[in-house]
Homo-oligomer: A and B are copies of this chain.
Amino acid sequence: MEFLNRHVSVRNFKNVPVEDKLLESILYSGTRASNTGNMQAYSMVVTCREPQRQKLAPLHFNQPVAIHAPVLITFVADFNRFSKWCQFNKAQPGYANFISFFTASIDALLVAQNVCIAAENNGLGICYLGTTTYNAQEIIEVLGLPRLTFPVTTVAMGYPDDLPELTDRLPLKGIVHYEKYQDYSEARIRELYAFKENLEQMQQYVKENNKETLAQVFTEVRYKLEDNEFFSSKMLDTLKMQGFMK
């Protein structure tokens, strides 16, 4: 399982395109992932060219990886295609609702992860762009996504210019529960997060951001309540707009 265990997010790419044939075989491996009822409720939108790249970059907050990666793939929860198939075959589709959105999102995300693993197995590097759901409404417009579709994540892909070091993870026993969820006491939380908090890089984040604790860097700088509330309300509005909130 070495190929899974050595995964790192790559943010610097060589100025080399990904060959069409290779990209196709990677996307094909994506579609071999499990999906719900074999309805394949997803689509992939590949963006390599102008002017689309220039329109997408600001929606990913102009992260350098979004600007410079040779390939961006937007993974879309898609009940539009399946619903059209139903309509053309004397069947009344029943997928304009929240559970169908979530089912299609599961499908799309399993495909995304297969695509990433296939890419890495071919010497490529990847980075997920979590900004996709923040600006789904604008991405829908740029990519021309119809009703009953929703972009759930984006993967930037290319040949790595450098491979960063493995990032830290919490101890496995802090993530896995047997039979029942064991809620976390303060002592247990302190034990689980001690390694992370003591990393030199993390202590530097705290200092650079002028905070007292690492947690404050997350809640006051990186993933703030007011942003989360703003993007929550925006995402729910966009789900309504796309027909998924009935």
Q: Mark A26-53, 1 if CB is under 8 A from B, else 0.
A: 1111011110111110111111110010
Contacts A99-B134, A118-B4 known; A175 to B37 CB distance under 8 Å?
no
A19 at interface, CB cutoff 8 A: no
Q: Is the CB of B229 within 8 A of A97?
A: yes
A14 at interface, CB cutoff 8 A: no
A195 at interface, CB cutoff 8 A: no
Question: In the complex, what's the smallest C-beta–C-beta distance from A126 to chain B, in angstroms?
Answer: 8
Q: Mark A73-113, 1 if CB is under 8 A from B, else 0.
A: 00010001110111011111111011110110110011011
Q: Mark A205-224, 1 if CB is under 8 A from B, else 0.
A: 00000001111101110111
Q: Is the CB of B32 within 8 A of A152?
A: no
A61 at interface, CB cutoff 8 A: no
Q: Is the CB of B218 within 8 A of A91?
A: yes
Closest B residue, CB atoms, query A147:
B183
Residues 188-246 of A at the B interface (beta carbon under 8 Å): 189-190, 192-193, 212-216, 218-220, 222-229, 231-233, 235-236, 246
Please give, as numbers and ranges, the residues of chain B lying within 8 Å of A24 by CB-CB distance: 172, 176
Cα–Cα distance between A180 and B212 once the two chains are bound (Å): 46
A110 in complex: contacting residue of B84, B112, B174, B218, CB < 8 Å: B112
Please give, as numbers and ranges, the residues of chain B lying within 8 Å of A112 by CB-CB distance: 110
Please give, as numbers and ranges, the residues of chain B lying within 8 Å of A174 by CB-CB distance: 81
A179 at interface, CB cutoff 8 A: yes
Question: In the complex, what's the smallest C-beta–C-beta distance from A65 to chain B, in angstroms?
Answer: 12
Q: Is the CB of A39 within 8 A of B218?
A: yes
Question: In the complex, what's the smallest C-beta–C-beta distance from A80 to chain B, in angstroms?
Answer: 7
A186 at interface, CB cutoff 8 A: yes
With A31-B175, A85-B189, A91-B218 already in contact, 13 other A-B pairs whose C-beta atoms are closer than 8 Å: A27-B176, A34-B126, A42-B175, A45-B177, A46-B177, A80-B184, A99-B232, A99-B235, A100-B228, A105-B109, A149-B181, A229-B246, A232-B246
Taking beta carbons and an 8 Å cutoff, which residues of A are in contact with B? 1, 4-7, 9, 24-29, 31-34, 36-40, 42-49, 52, 76, 80-82, 84-86, 88-95, 97-100, 102-103, 105-106, 109-110, 112-114, 116-118, 121-122, 126-128, 130, 133-134, 143-146, 149, 152-153, 167-170, 172, 174-181, 183-184, 186, 189-190, 192-193, 212-216, 218-220, 222-229, 231-233, 235-236, 246
